[in-house]
Amino acid sequence: MKDDARRRVAELRTLIAHHDRRYHVLDDPEISDADYDLLVRELRALEAGHPELVTPDSPTQRVGASPATHFAAVAHRVPMLSLGNGFTDDDVYEFDRRVRKLLGSDAPVEYAAEPKLDGLAIAVVYRDGRFTQAATRGDGSRGENVTATVAQIRGLPKRLAGAAPALLEVRGEIFMPLEGFRQLNEELTARGEKAFVNPRNAAAGSVRQLDPEVTRARPLELFVYGLGEAEPAATPDRQSELLGWLHSLGFATSPLATTVRGPEACLDYYRRLAAARASLPYQIDGVVYKVNDRQAQERIGFISREPRWALAHKFPAEEAFTLLRDVEFQVGRTGVLTPVARLEPVFVGGATVSNATLHNMDEVARKDVRIGDTVVVRRAGDVIPEIVSVVPERRPVDARRIELPAACPSCGSPVAREEGEAVARCTGGFRCKAQRREALKHFAGRRALDIDGLGDRLIDQLVERDMVRSPADFYTLEATDLESLDRMGEKSAQNLVAAIAGSRATTLPRVLLGLGIRDVGEATALALSRHFGDIEALMEADEAQVQQVPDVGRVVAGHVVRFFADSANRELIGALRARGVQWPAVPVVRDAGAPLAGLTFVLTGTLATLTREKASAALVALGAKVAGSVSKKTSFVVAGDGAGSKLDKARALGVPVIDEAALATVIAEGTPPPA
């Protein structure tokens, strides 16, 4: 038994050392963080059961990897330790129990809590307020001297504001925002260079450049979270106050940092950040809890490689490795063929994933994905899983290239790919049941004609039985027709016919959205309605006239004009009217000087006095744009009851937030909110 343990310990140490080098030195990991954590946890368990097998060079007794040889080594005067990991609620309760035991008190402990950024840990030294050195964590005792490249990070203060100690070493995380990561990979692939697997690797690779000019061009940011040393050591007594002090010196700190009391509050913070995670502009992989009292931190102390007073509570892994078994092509509402990967099921992002999108054939080619490959799958929150990259070292000799089908897999019509477009489309139009099915679902959806009770399964049956061939056919259905469908009784059929009848009284923006014109969403449908007033004027407009609509460019204008030039679409509009669908004209508003012109609002949560649709329409009527997601360009976020991730993202970005009462004032007075 002991010999088996000794052999497995040796295997694990070799494996972990290999993966440490791939991750910390080469910035090219072969396994996911979750798989790496499993290896370390297994090693810890074996060493706990066989203490005689513990050696000073075991991965459990050190922090990371040795510095890369092409950078000068820097000895850390205060070791850069890593944090102990927690994965479950029980781990947090155990951490809190241990802290209280070490403090000799049953009183609830106050913790400083902040997101755990997925980036590159860094130590930055200032002498007399001036930046002098930067070093990576390395193995915790020695890191890499990356002063020249870290100096290129625009957000790093080169000279501190206010009074600072003669010697100050701060610890923080260098990271790459998601939008910057996306743009960087686009630039790299356009030049034929290898793209980065994830933002963490991109940040580490950018810092470890031999040419600082390359680093300067990369979108890097830095959040500071702690101290290495300070001489003289007159620094704040609480971790939360320390962050405020560092911020006053000119450092960026996490806007989501806060204080909590007790393990239940820690877990509540963890769940709130987990819910907001997918909407943040940067990657986080967990949260960190630190005893807030820094004198208490000193009393609690350290073990060999980590402080006892802090815990990293990790989120479920967002990336995992699995096998690509096959690829199928799905046909969407506008005929777009999307390659969908069929995967060996894998648990990632809190759910079991067996399918992932490959987006389009350009992405397939860029990532060189083949059937039989081992792939990295990413799932963030509710985002559709996608294949991030392949692991070339694991490619089998019989891996097959993915080919675009020449004929639609649904209807057999030819597949065409227009010049300059990344996507390929089925040319079958409404003859294609797959396109027809998705177009009808879109037309009946909540944001379009909003036909209550007409769900996806019912539409699937109506299409399969050829009972509905266009949206106008909904208005010919009778209860006796519907009773023959699965799970549709007499009463349900009558209710659905009544709901369809009720949808006949609608609005022009809903009709324009429901028609499914390419790239025309809610905001564009509203803008077109306000500019032209009625559908006849829009149908007769040319591209130049459509481009006069705010935020409508040449491409969207072309889609609109071509849609209404198609006789089948004009016949559909006539058929809708003939079957009783009515929409009143909209007052024409073309005043670029409207009171809210140039402002972008995002609505989140439940409004008590207005529906989202009415609030959006009122804002648009005053010249504002209403968007569905929060970005740095957002002017105001309107937060109702139950506001969630969008509110968190607004706070993270510093976007002004107003409540429903302030919104009512804006609408009533026609004036922008106070900044």
First to last CA, the chain: 70
Alpha carbon dihedral 317, 321, 327, 331, in 10-degree steps, equals 10
Q: How far is the C-alpha of 571 from the C-alpha of 568, rounded, in Å?
A: 5
Nearest to 371 by CA among 397, 332, 405: 397
Task: Pick the closest to residue 319 from 387, 372, 391 (CA basis).
Answer: 387
Q: Is 625 a catalytic residue?
A: no
**DSSP category for residue 224:** E
The secondary structure of 37-99 as a DSSP string is HHHHHHHHHHHHH-GGG--TTSGGGS-S-PPPTTS-EEE-SS------EE-SHHHHHHHHHHH
- H/E element, 659: none
Residues paired with residue 293 on neighbouring β-strands, in sequence order? 238
Task: Provide the token pair at 611.
Answer: 């529906």
How many angstroms separate the CA atoms of 627 and 636, rounded?
10
Number of H helices, E strands in the chain: 24, 24
- Which uninterrupted H or E stretch holds 206? helix 199-207
Pairing of the two strands 310-314 and 284-291: antiparallel
In a 10 Å sphere around its CB, with 0-12 CB exposed, 13-18 middle and 19+ buried, how is residue 625 labelled?
buried
Phi-psi region of 420 (alpha: psi -120 to 50; beta: other; left: phi over 0): left
Spatial CB neighbours of 448, under 8 Å, sequence gap ≥ 6: 442, 510, 511, 513, 514
| CA–CA gap between residue 2 and residue 380 (Å, rounded) | 42
In sequence order, the β-bridge partners of residue 416 are: 425
628 three-class SS: coil
What are the residues whose beta carbons fall under 8 Å from the beta carbon of 393, sequence distance 6 or more?
30
40-46: long-range pairs with CB below 8 Å, 24+:
40/16, 42/8, 42/12, 43/9, 43/12, 43/13, 43/16, 46/5, 46/8, 46/9, 46/12
The continuous run of DSSP H or E covering 528 comes out as helix 522-532
Distance CA 313, CA 567 (A): 59
Task: Please report which helix (H) or strand (E) contains residue 264, including its range.
Answer: helix 262-276
Identify the active-site residue in 116, 433, 441, 625. Answer: 116
Residue type present at position 588: V
Determine the Cα–Cα distance for residues 83 and 99; give it in Å rounded to an integer.
Answer: 15
3-state SS string over 297-360? HHHHCECCCCECCEEEEECCCCEEEEEEEEEEEEECCCCEEEEEEEEEEEEECCEEEEEEECCC
Torsion angles phi and psi, residue 134, rounded to 5: -135, 140
Active site residues: 116
